[in-house]
Amino acid sequence: MRDLPAVDAVLRSPRAEALVARHGRAGTTAAVREALELARREILAGGRPEASEEAVLATAEGVLSARGLRRVVNATGVVLHTNLGRSVLSEAAVTAAVGAASSYSNLEYDVAAGRRGSRYDHAVPLLKELTGAEDALVVNNCAGATLLALSAVVAEAREEGGTSEPEVVVSRGQLIEIGGGFRIPEVLELSGAHMREVGTTNRTRLSDYRKATNENTRALLWVHPSNFEVEGFTESVGVGELASLGLPVVADVGSGALLPISDEPVVEKAVRDGASLTIFSGDKLLGGPQAGIVVGESRWISAMKRHPLCRALRADKLCLAALEATLYAYRDGSAREELPTLKMLGAPAEEMKDRATRLAAEIAGAAPNLFVDVAPSVARSGGGTLPLYEVPSYAVRLGSEGIGADAMAEGLRSAATPVVGRVAEGRLWLDVRTLLKGDEEAILDAIGELDG
């Protein structure tokens, strides 16, 4: 224990000064104390940790890097990287969110009438215009929107009397699990609905739904598979066919595509095909903030608003401000030019090649000890969308005789601004399709730290 340095001694080192400049004195001091406490625990457990000031600072750096949200350079080629925050907001959406955060707003105030208004009115006119739906509702995430929709259907059935066990019919091929353990069977159970499965994993026909419906059936659930695709001997039923059975159809289309992108379901088509409620995310192919968005028939939207879960899931002012700004880009016809998600997915491969070539030249000049070249790459949409959709791209590949690709990747992740790439074929790949303005400079700084 006596070999451990004092907090003040650690903080006087040049390396500590750099941490103070980056994280502040209070934060750095707390991290150093935590590092020393970790060392003490290891000693008490019989270990012999390195007791130098440098070792303590290295641990403190790790502590600080694990705290709070930080900017990260996404060089993975996955546009909607769930672990890195999915969609990046447009400049207009950021400006709108900052405005809502830094001033009072009419979040729940009717300015014209001079009385209380409703937060549920925001973004509704734009969503109705863009999708053709009668009404709309925004909550804080898509999983919550699905739970709320099904819960409202069950609650309405019980209020109307009749069955005490309302049923929702769903194809076995759509009983999916997506990121974070979101499972359709468990959501149905939580909503209070009795799940009636129809069809098989790979084939479900309209006749299967028809045979399963009875006096207890309150809705038909259609779920987009999102992050997987079944190929081969398959058959499924579309939203339009389900609507022909005359029962409410709840369609979870997932990605929130308002414009055609490969074979991803387009929200407007689901509405047009007769879905009573169409549910989708705000931070996937829509390119906006995290949100669960529901468009559809006024009757069912009103039922959702009346349900107690609605308040628990309500969206905040920052989300609503950013979402409205995102939707304006669609209304004005500028979404593909303004929204980073759509720009990344749509940029031509030759543009990526030029960008990768420039970045490779800069890296080679700054770190002549590295092997640097440019190679064709494959980028992906990610975020539970378009699982088989490949976007031609280019990447800068890094190698070194003195450091392995995994160690190099770890080094770049440890930089002041972490750089996240992917390791393949013994090299570190930095795909330029997912780089934002200023990311090249951050990569060069990270490589400089690594080289140093």
Instruction: Kindly state the helix (H) or strand (E) to which residue 370 belongs, with its residue range.
Output: none
Least confident of 89-93, 164-168, 281-285: 164-168
pLDDT confidence of residue 402: 85
> How many other C-beta atoms are found inside a 10 Å radius of the C-beta of residue 268?
17
How does residue 58 score in pLDDT terms, banded at 50, 70 and 90?
Answer: confident
Query: Up-side HSE of residue 2: CA atoms within 13 Å toward CB?
Result: 0
- The neighbour count for residue 34, using CB atoms within 10 Å, is 15
Q: Is the pLDDT of residue 287 over 70?
A: yes
pLDDT at 337: 97
Q: What is the 3-state secondary structure (H, E, C) of 254-309?
A: ECCECCCCCCCCEHHHHHHCCCCEEEEECCCCCCCCCCEEEEECHHHHHHHHHCCH
Pairwise CA distance, residues 140 & 376, whole Å = 38
CB 407 within 8 A of CB 379: no
**Confidence (pLDDT) at 164:** 66
CB 247 within 8 A of CB 239: no
Which run of H or of E encompasses 375? strand 371-382
Amino acid at 254: G
Lowest mean pLDDT across 52-66, 75-89, 405-419: 52-66
Name the band, by pLDDT with cuts 50, 70 and 90, for residue 22.
Answer: confident
DSSP 168-180: EEEEGGG--EEGG
| Contacts by residues 49-54 (CB-CB < 8 Å, ≥ 24 positions apart) | 51/3, 51/4, 51/5, 52/5, 53/5, 53/9, 53/10, 53/13, 54/13, 54/15
Q: To the nearest whole number, what is the mean pLDDT of the chain?
A: 92
Residues 438, 392, 361, 74: what is their CA dihedral angle, to the nearest 10 degrees? 30
Domains of the chain: 7-65 (no CATH), 73-87+342-451 (3.90.1150.180), 91-336 (3.40.640.10)
Q: How far apart are CA 379 and CA 276, in angstroms?
A: 35
Which residue shows structure tokens 């659930």?
221
Q: Quote the pLDDT of residue 180.
A: 65
- pLDDT (average), residues 12-18: 85
**CA gap 78, 356 in Å, rounded:** 16
- C-alpha span between 13 and 18 (Å, rounded): 9
Count of CB atoms situated within 10 Å of the CB of 365: 10
What whole-number percentage of the chain has pLDDT above 90?
A: 71
What sign has the CA pseudo-torsion 188, 194, 196, 197?
positive
Arithmetic mean of pLDDT, 260-272: 94
Whether the predicted model's global pTM rises above the 0.85 cut: yes
More confident residue, 149 or 230: 149
Question: How would you classify residue 262: left for phi > 0, otherwise alpha for psi between -120 and 50, otherwise beta?
Answer: left
Q: Are 355 and 341 in contact (CB under 8 A)?
A: no
- Among 24-33, 81-90, 173-182, 213-222, the range scoring the smallest mean pLDDT is 173-182
Taking 80 as the threshold, does the pLDDT of residue 28 lie above it? Answer: yes
Sheet holding 292-296, edge to edge: 135-139, 292-296, 277-281, 249-254, 217-223, 167-171, 194-198
Helix (H) or strand (E) holding 196: strand 194-198
pLDDT digits (tens, 9 = 90+) for 119-133: 999 999 999 999 999
Q: What is d(CA 292, CA 60) in angstroms, rounded to the nearest whole number?
A: 38
Query: Which of 6-20, 196-210, 345-359 shows the lowest per-residue confidence on average (mean pLDDT)?
Result: 6-20
Cα separation of 222 and 149, whole Å? Answer: 13
Per-residue pLDDT at 50: 83
Among residues 267, 263, 255, which one has the least CA distance to residue 296? Answer: 267
How much is the pLDDT for 170?
94
CA distance 48 to 441: 40
Per-residue pLDDT reduced to its tens digit, 362-388 = 999 999 999 999 999 999 999 888 888
Per the listing, tokens 């549910």 go with: 279
Report pLDDT for 233. 85
| pLDDT score for 360 | 98
- Tell me the C-alpha distance between 288 and 340, whole Å: 9
Q: How far apart are CA 409 and CA 428, in angstroms?
A: 7
Mean pLDDT throughout 187-212? 93
Residue 67 has pLDDT above 80, yes or no: no
Phi, psi torsion values for 142, nearest 5 degrees: -70, -40
Q: How far apart are CA 238 and CA 253, in angstroms?
A: 11
3-class DSSP state for residue 188?
helix
Q: How far apart are CA 181 and CA 201, in angstroms?
A: 19
The residues facing 109 across adjacent strands are 116
- Residue 181 vs residues 88, 166, 186, 254, 362: alpha-carbon distances, Å: 24, 25, 10, 15, 42
Which parts of 348-419 fold into alpha helices (H)?
349-366, 405-413
